[in-house]
Amino acid sequence: MGWRRLSLCRRSIQRKNGSLDNSFGTGGIATTRLGVQGYGLSGILQADGKILVVGSSDNGSNLDFGVVRFNTNGTLDNSFGSGGKVTTAVGASSDFGRAGACQADGKIVVAGYYINNQSNRDFALVRYLTNGSLDNSFGSGGKVTTPVGLSDDRARSMALQSDEKIVVVGASFVGFNNNFAIVRYNSDGSLDNNFGVDGKVRIAVGNDVSTGEDGAFSVAIQADGKILAAGWALNPVSGYDFAVVRLMENGSLDSTFANGGIALTPIGTNDFGQAIALQADGKIVVAGASYDQTGDYAIAVVRYNNSAPTGITSALELPEQLMLSQNYPNPFNPSTEIRFTVAQTRRTTLEVYNLMGQKVMTLFDEVAQAGHEYHVRFTGSHLASGVYIYRLKSGPRSASRKLILLQ
């Protein structure tokens, strides 16, 4: 019998052919066993470039939450847990880790679901300190469990808001149907009573009210605080369709989005949205699989327009008296130069954000003199490769541009 090993690979974006990065692991691939066998289902890049993999660990009788941390070169990080690995039993039966995120203070939140004493499934959260030990200030001994519906609740994805509140999405069995389930927690793990009913929202998304099978599989937070959940919903005519729901900050459906807050998109015979992301311009991208009548699955990607503010102002719309130059070189590794000039002497900030709107570095924060050209050096050796936004703000005026880091 073969045993599953957790595997990770890295490809070089500096090589146009996408070849494996030989500086990572062995030939670009790192593998490790997590328990008897492990399942890696989600990856997280820390600010220092280390890589977290979240999933489940088989202990021989059932599954536990599992987290593995790799160094930037693909070796296990021995400063985390035991030899770079942590396993956590949430309940007495099986526990399924599905997604995770790193807080600004470095703590790690993992979301999934567990089988409770009544053999039902409930949402589950675990928070770890930076060294992999449980954070006892979170929930009960670092763990939180939440029944959403009556019997079968499965968390699939999570995201952190800018205020460190935790949004978890998945599916909840209600009556005879599965519905979208969205739960929001305060930063200490308690349910946020300002969201939905007691911190929980359930939404029947599809058009088949008799045998509806709806489920959220991914979540994103807009810059204005609205919540996007993507997945699929059953339509009695077209089968399963891509489904996107947008919620207001209080958990109510956003009536300005699509059809009363819900967008359903048929592609093939059955379509399953599994990942959502926001572009820098605010447009929404959902990826997944589409099943056609020949019995084959294909990769499917849908992009939606979005009038929501991105929190980042286009440099082309800015008044002439605020000048922010394109960084040079671009793309760059590991450093680049940014130049700017302001028209009035006042406190000015130059900050770098990732595409989720999270600030990753402050490059300038002081009083800038009017008319003086500032040259600021940005070194991104501790950040992951990718596209970032740098934003200049001086009084009521702001400007932003994109930069590309290639590690």
Say if residue 253's pLDDT is above 50.
yes
For 23-39, write each residue's pLDDT tens digit: 899 999 999 998 888 88
Instruction: Note the pLDDT of residue 388.
Output: 87
Residue 15 has pLDDT above 80, yes or no: no
Residues in CB range of 61: below 8 A, 6 or more apart: none
> What was the pLDDT predicted at 293?
67
pLDDT higher than threshold 60 for residue 4: no
Candidate from 10-19, 303-312, 383-392 with smallest mean pLDDT: 10-19
Residue 326 has pLDDT above 80, yes or no: yes
Percent of the chain with pLDDT over 90: 57
Judged by average pLDDT, the poorest of 6-20, 27-41, 46-60, 63-77 is 6-20
Average pLDDT over residues 255-266: 92
- Which pLDDT score, from 0 to 100, does residue 315 have? 36
Lowest mean pLDDT among 39-48, 59-68, 132-141: 39-48
pLDDT band at 313 (very low <50, low <70, confident <90, very high): very low
**319 falls in which pLDDT band (50, 70, 90)?**
very low
**CATH 2.120.10 segments of the chain:** 6-304
pLDDT of residue 193: 96
Instruction: Determine the average pLDDT of the residues in 249-272.
Output: 92
| Of 53-57, 248-252, 343-347, minimum mean pLDDT range | 343-347
Ranges of CATH 2.60.40.1930 domains, the chain: 315-405
Mean pLDDT, residues 72-85: 96
Report, in this order, helix, strand and coil percent for the chain, each rounded to 5: 0, 55, 45
Q: What is the pTM of this model?
A: 0.75
Confidence of residue 320 (pLDDT cuts 50, 70, 90): very low
Query: Which CATH number does 6-304 carry?
Result: 2.120.10
Is residue 7 over pLDDT 80? no
Mean pLDDT over residues 217-244, rounded? 90
Q: What is the mean pLDDT of residues 284-289?
A: 95
Across 299-322, average pLDDT:
63
CATH number of 315-405: 2.60.40.1930
Q: Residue 199 region, left (φ>0) first, then alpha (ψ -120 to 50), else beta?
A: left
Residue 3 above 70 pLDDT?
Answer: no
Contact 286, 301 (CB under 8 A): yes
Where does 16-152 show beta strands of DSSP type E? 29-32, 37-45, 51-58, 63-70, 85-88, 95-102, 108-115, 121-128, 143-146
Q: Which candidate, 164, 89, 190, 185, places its Cα nearest to that of 134?
A: 89
Q: What tens digit of pLDDT does each residue of 350-390 get?
A: 999 887 778 899 999 998 888 888 899 999 888 888 888 88
Whether 21 and 38 have beta carbons less than 8 Å apart is answered as no
Instruction: Examine the pLDDT at 144 and tell me if it is beyond 60.
Output: yes
| Pairing of β 270-278 and β 121-128 | unpaired
Q: What is the pLDDT of residue 65?
A: 97
At residue 317, the pLDDT reads: 36
Task: Give the pLDDT score at 95.
Answer: 94
